A = this chain, B = another copy of it.
Amino acid sequence: MPLDPSCLGAQSAPRRVSWQARDCVLYALGVGAGPDELAFATDDIRNVPQRMLPTMPVTLGVNLGVLKAAGPIDWTKLVHAEQGLELFDELPVTGEAMATSRIAELWDKGSAAVVVVDTEARGVPDDRPLFRSRASLFIRGAGGWGGERGPSAPADTRPGDPGLTVSYPTSDNQALIYRLSGDRNPLHSDPAFAARAGFAKPILHGLCTFGIAGRAVMRAVAGDPSRIKSIQARFAASVYPGETLHVDLWPDGNSVRFTTRTDEAVVLSHGVARIGPAADYIAS
């Protein structure tokens, strides 16, 4: 059924979101951080101040309830197509924010629809902008209201061989760890549900792969987490827990392009992160 195009611009009421040191640890373990990244994967090591992984804000404050304005949605036909994140500051490991989600774009791809949901978060109580995340959702069977198709994705051209590649294994229970950070979609845990969606078994969260790629950007290019100012990528294919992810990176001045592949296929394309000077750390 076509979406209701009048939903464009619909906005959720501001909602309070808070996070604790332990949440940051769980997120870090969920995207595979380990003994080489103790500042992220632990919260109690002497002389190792805890930090939040820069990709974690994609898990904070998103309110997909805003999609109600578009009419009934068949969630088994919705896939996460693209994710972006802009960071205005490094987030503290314990904090609170007010977040608002908004339908920022709506495209009619014929049989399918693309809905772009932006989420903005501002600190509590100082109201300073913390981050803006952008999720592009592709919904099969939800187009056809006669709207604009929107821009086509540019070709994912990259200048020759990557400057460097970082490979990370994922564990068989990677998705089961990652989902403790809040995304409990059964596509990532329930074999029966995954089978109905056409998969041989539950798949890894796209945002887990995104976080793993973010670790590679940080380790290989940015160094300090606060130097990542933005990061975005497209979800090109699904990943099964247990597969190894190879993140190919093309550093170029103040930015780095990246893709991520399994041994089988490219799973993240069009990856770009902007690298800037280290931010002042916001104490919790």
Asked if B46 and A189 make an inter-chain contact with CB atoms under 8 angstroms apart, the answer reads no
For the complex formed by this chain, how many copies does it contain in all?
2
Complex: how many Å from CA A32 to CA B171? 9
Assess whether B29 is in contact with A173, with CB atoms less than 8 Å apart: yes
The answer to whether A173 touches B41 (Cβ under 8 A) is: yes
Partner pick for A180 among B25, B172, B176, B191, CB 8 A cutoff? B25
**What sequence of 0s and 1s flags, for each residue 19-37 of chain A, a beta carbon within 8 Å of any chain B beta carbon?**
0001001100100111100
Q: Is A15 an interface residue (CB 8 A)?
A: no
Contacts of A46 in B (CB 8 A): 186, 190, 192-193
Query: Which residues 191-240 of A have a CB within 8 angstroms of B?
Result: 191-193, 201-202
Partner of A29, one of B177, B190, B201: B177
Tell me how many residues of A have a C-beta within 8 Å of chain B.
Answer: 33
Contacts of A41 in B (CB 8 A): 173, 176
**Residue from the list B38, B42, B172, B193 in contact with A35, Cβ < 8 A:** B172
The contact of A34 among B22, B25, B172, B193, by CB within 8 Å, is B172
Q: Which residue of B lies closest to A176 (CB)?
A: B41
Which residues from chain B contact A26 at a C-beta distance below 8 Å? 180
Shortest C-beta distance, A126 to chain B (Å), equals 31
Main secondary structure of the interface of A (DSSP, over half): loop
Question: A25 — nearest CB in chain B belongs to which residue?
Answer: B180
Query: CB-nearest residue of chain B relative to A189?
Result: B42
Query: In the complex, A33→B29 CA distance in Å?
Result: 15
Distance in Å from the Cβ of A52 to the closest Cβ of chain B? 16
Q: Indicate if A241 sits at the interface (CB-CB under 8 A).
A: yes
| CB proximity of A184 to chain B, nearest CB, Å | 6
Q: How far is the CA of A41 from the CA of B188 in the complex (A)?
A: 13
Q: Does A153 contact B (CB under 8 A)?
A: no
Is A173 touching B44 in the complex (CB atoms < 8 A)? Answer: no
Supposing A33-B173, A173-B32 touch, asked if A45 and B180 sit within 8 A by C-beta, the answer is no
- What would 11 A/B residue contacts be, using CB atoms closer than 8 Å? A25-B176, A32-B173, A33-B173, A34-B172, A41-B176, A42-B176, A44-B189, A45-B186, A45-B190, A47-B192, A177-B177
Excluding A29-B180, A35-B241, 9 further A-B contacts by CB distance (< 8 Å) are A29-B177, A34-B171, A34-B241, A35-B201, A41-B173, A41-B176, A42-B176, A44-B186, A169-B171
